Amino acid sequence: MTYETFARKYRPKNFQQVVGQETVVKTLSNAIKLGRVSHAYIFAGSRGLGKTTIARIITKCLNCEEGITENPCGKCENCREIEKGSFPDMYEIDAASNRGIDDIRTIRDNVSYAPIKGRYKVYIIDEAHMLTREAFNALLKTLEEPPPNNIFILATTELHKIPDTIRSRCQTFIFKPPTKKQITEYLKRILEEEGIEYEKDALQLISEASNGGVRDAASILDQAVIYGGGQVKKETTAQLLGVIPEEITKNFLLALKNKDIKEMVKIVEKLDREGYDITVFWNQILSKIHKHMINLLTEEKSDIFEKNDIEYLIYTNDIFKKGYLEAKNFFDKKDILQLSILKLRFMKNLVPLKEIIEKGITVQEKREEKPKEKKFDLQKAILKAGKEAGGIVAGALKNANIKEEDDRFVIMVDKTIADLITDKLEIIKKHFPKPVVIEEIQIKTERKKPKKRDEAVDKVLELFQGKIISYKEE
């Protein structure tokens, strides 16, 4: 006996059975009712959302022996053949394997013939984005002068790969994943029809694991029934999906609450050893932390954390999220996640959030090493100090000899202007990162630097690798 998968067995036979896709269903059934069916459609959306299914339903609507209807009978020969995929006027072309121009040419030649059995010939081109450029061009010709009684449905998971020239001649429908609730309802319907026992929480898990794919949800359900020995229980389903048991995540969060780094590291170690996907675990932990934070904010307590843990959770969440993103790209996922647990130990060095909010600044508590300062620019400081202190001082500072020592700046100026500068010392100091002192010196006026260099001298210097040791006034 061959077993018919749920996806096949429960493939919708009419619009009412379709899960989600309300807009698509409504527009199409109205179009059929009003006799306004377009000759070309694009059905875009991820896998297993019902693109092919709806294309077949349309084919039935147009070819049901009882007449064109948005509610095909499903019993007549045409309807049954369409359901089986053997209706001679329904062409299902897989563009992934028939990408070429020849296949499209065949269609082109075919469009001029009348339908064999039905009223309309329907061409369902699956994975339409895979067609070659020539094939698209050939298709375009057909779409430009559509012969009557031919309908094209291009299904694709990658709409952006369909050329604009084609898109502008088709009516496009975007298929969106149904809600989790719609998927659990769908699963429930199947199980009840089949008379299979189930636990609601298990359906929740399947719906989450399906990521919105209806076909995926149905095939996980197939596996869950087999794995559960004919029942769909939460525990077995969780095992099947590799979902980490609730008590393990709970223990981890308790260890987090108690800042028990060792225990957290151990839990990760154990999960990894038992073959769980620890990034899945981490993701679960992240969403739990998020839930607890929200609970604390709205209800002041959660079953593990207390109100004043919020800050700790915010930081933890940050650190863990970074770890998660990193781990996703690295081979040693466990190491990275364990490292982010270790990072929690150094959290005490962080400034309490309250302080940041009150002061409106983001300072960190002083560490052993000095924070890196912006590089001090002496020239800028001199200019600024001069500007603030006033004209004469500005000039004096510019000409002064300033040296930086370990713990201070020394401004060496001629005796004659030392007092002038000392008067403005308070102003000047503000522009320097270390204390500033004034030192009086005797500036020798007799030695002047040459205003212009003599090219000949430069040449000689270069030639002899020499150095100027003194100048003589002319």
Ligand X SMILES: Nc1ncnc2c1ncn2[C@@H]1O[C@H](COP(=O)(O)OP(=O)(O)OP(=O)(O)O)[C@@H](O)[C@H]1O
Q: For residue 105, give both structure tokens.
A: 């040419």
* Binders in 67-86 for Zn ion, by CB under 5 A: 72-73, 76, 79
* Binders in 137-166 for ligand X, by CB under 6 A: 155, 157
Instruction: Give the H/E segment covering residue 91.
Output: strand 90-94
Residues comprising the chain, all counted? 474
Q: Using CB atoms within 10 A of its CB, is residue 202 exposed (0-12), middle (13-18) or buried (19+)?
A: buried
What is the DSSP code (8-state) at residue 160? Answer: G
Binding mask 100-139 for ligand X (x = CB under 6 A): --------------------------x-------------
User: Does residue 52 bind ligand X (CB under 6 A)?
Assistant: yes
Q: Which does residue 430 bind out of Zn ion, Mg ion, ligand X, none, counting CB within 5 to 8 angstroms by kind?
A: none
* Neighbour-count burial for 293-314, b at 16+ CB within 10 Å, e otherwise: beebeeeeebebbeeebeebbe
With respect to Zn ion, which residue has the nearer C-beta, 69 or 239? 69
User: Does residue 26 bind ligand X (CB under 6 A)?
Assistant: no
SS3 150: strand
Question: Given phi > 0 = left and psi -120 to 50 = alpha, else beta, which region is 45?
Answer: left
Give me the residue label for tokens 């013939």: 113
C-alpha span between 407 and 73 (Å, rounded): 95
User: Does residue 52 bind Mg ion (CB under 5 A)?
Assistant: yes
Binding segment toward ligand X, per CB under 6 A, in 2-10, 289-297, 330-338, 380-388? 2-10
User: Does residue 182 bind ligand X (CB under 6 A)?
Assistant: no
> Which residue in 14, 21, 142, 210 binds ligand X (CB under 6 A)?
21
Nearest of 325, 366, 318, 365 to residue 343 by alpha carbon = 318
Position 67, amino acid: G
Binding segment toward Mg ion, per CB under 5 A, in 25-33, 45-53, 82-90, 253-261? 45-53
Binding segment toward Mg ion, per CB under 5 A, in 43-51, 97-105, 139-147, 425-433? 43-51
Instruction: Give the H/E segment covering residue 409.
Output: strand 409-414
User: Does residue 218 bind ligand X (CB under 6 A)?
Assistant: yes
> Least CB distance from residue 41 to ligand X, whole Å?
13
* Footprint on this chain of ligand X (rule: CB under 6 A): 7-8, 10-12, 18-21, 47-53, 126, 155, 157, 214-215, 218
* Interacting residues toward Zn ion by CB under 5 A: 64, 72-73, 76, 79
